[in-house]
Amino acid sequence: MKFSRQVVLIFLLAALIVVSACGAEGTDSGPVSTGNTEGMSSKKIKIGITQIVEHLSLDEARRGFVQALKDAGYVEGETLEIDFQNAQGDLSNAATITQKFASDKKDLVLAIATPTAQAAAQNIKNKPILFTAVTDPIGAGLVQSIEKPGANVTGTADLHPDAISKLMEFIASNVKDIKAVGIIANEGEQNTHINVKQAVDALSKLGVEVVKAPVANSSEVKQATESLAGKVQAIYVPSDNTVVSALATVISVASDIKIPTFVADKDSVKNGGVASYGFEYFDLGYSTGKMAIEILKEGKKPADLAVKYPETLDLALNLKAAASQGFDVTAAMKAEVKQENLFE
């Protein structure tokens, strides 16, 4: 019996050693797969978002981008880390932000508006960059062509080919005794330059004079708007980040001097512009987000993803703004506007 007990003890000891060894092997084997689907990696994706300034259109583009990622299954704090930085309208800030993104080795960078996109393209060469709310990506030096961008940069442009010409025709046809249109703009911005050029060309063909009111920063917007009093019968605010960020100032002065103000985007109509032919910046940002998914999940390269444009172009009207700025809205205008684009 004594011998048998020793055998049993030896057997039990051996069994414990085997079990312990198996447990140790399991501990060293690394993390267990969480069963991610549709190409989703357990690695947290790091995205840097740089925006030249905060105003409704750019904010909506950013919101649309983030929503597209959420709809694709990315969860902030779990599979997604977003680092949002606002350059506050300062080009040196824009450069510093993208340099930091490069050193942080972000997996992808979203640049909202032309100046921040240019800064990103200059400072980040080995990671994908997407832009949105850029008016002229070729003229800005961001891509080689619309169909084949050619490097690590692509995205969505915010200028529908017919948007400005249609709005200028609307102004020429509907503003009483129209002779001249004032344009408030900071033409130091590449996106603004192409906007203004298209407006001037369209108005010239319509026989309408242009009076420019240039600004270099938002603090000059009030004086520039006031300078148009008695010189023009309508004001146009292009897709200009400097002026749009101070749109409330333009609207306030326009209401005082009774000159209707027309704008380049639907969000600015919501904020007091009389009318625009445009689209939703949220939708533009969402399209950009879908491009990010193609890059992150499907392994596509920006060089092979064509730049996209807005797919819709609708008239938007603000009835309250029209009344306060002395513009008569006709039944025909209202009939052209979809209910969701009629603001009061």
Domain locations in the chain as residue ranges: 45-158+281-304, 163-278+313-343
CATH architecture classification, 45-158+281-304? 3-Layer(aba) Sandwich (3.40)
Closest Cα to residue 243, out of 256, 228, 258? Answer: 228
Q: What is the pLDDT of residue 278?
A: 87
Distance (Å, whole) CA 177 – CA 120 = 46
Q: What is the pLDDT of residue 31?
A: 29
Q: What is the pLDDT of residue 30?
A: 32
Cβ–Cβ under 8 Å, residues 325 and 254: yes
Residues of the chain with pLDDT under 50: 1-40
Q: What is the pLDDT of residue 42?
A: 60
Q: What one-letter code names the amino acid at 344? A: E
Q: Which two tokens stand for residue 289?
A: 């987000």
Q: What is the pLDDT of residue 25?
A: 36
Question: Where are the extended beta strands (E) located within 94-169?
Answer: 108-112, 129-134, 153-157
Q: What is the pLDDT of residue 28?
A: 31
CATH class of 163-278+313-343: alpha beta
